[in-house]
Amino acid sequence: MPEPQRSEKGFDAEMADKIVECDGGGPIAGTKLAGRQEFVGRATGEYVDHGDPPWRWYLVVDLTLKPDGFPGDEVWCESGSLYLKTD
């Protein structure tokens, strides 16, 4: 039986309350395809590191931009796809 993947929670004060953009992808309903998804919101500073080597995922809340039909007002974004908004 494979070992469970490493998962560690943390807090990054430098990311807390920053307005960020997150680019990602997700399934297109009714197809076997995926499409680009874009989110804008406020990073809380909370993160989870998954795997070995770890991939860091930040919690983004208070979404002001999200895909049509996206359920909810928060999303976890992979750190490599997270950008600080400057405008």
Please check whether residue 14 is in contact with residue 43, taking contact to mean a CB–CB distance below 8 angstroms. no
What is the pTM (predicted TM-score) of this model?
A: 0.84
Amino acid identity for residue 66 in this structure: K
pLDDT grade, residue 83 (50/70/90)? very high
> Helix H segments across the chain?
none
Contact 57, 22 (CB under 8 A): no
Residues 43 and 63 sit within 8 Å (Cβ to Cβ): no
pLDDT tens column, 17-61: 999 999 877 777 788 888 888 999 999 999 999 888 889 999 999
Q: For residues 15 and 87, what is the distance between their CA atoms, to the nearest angstrom?
A: 17
Domain spans in the chain, listed from the N-terminal domain onward: 7-84
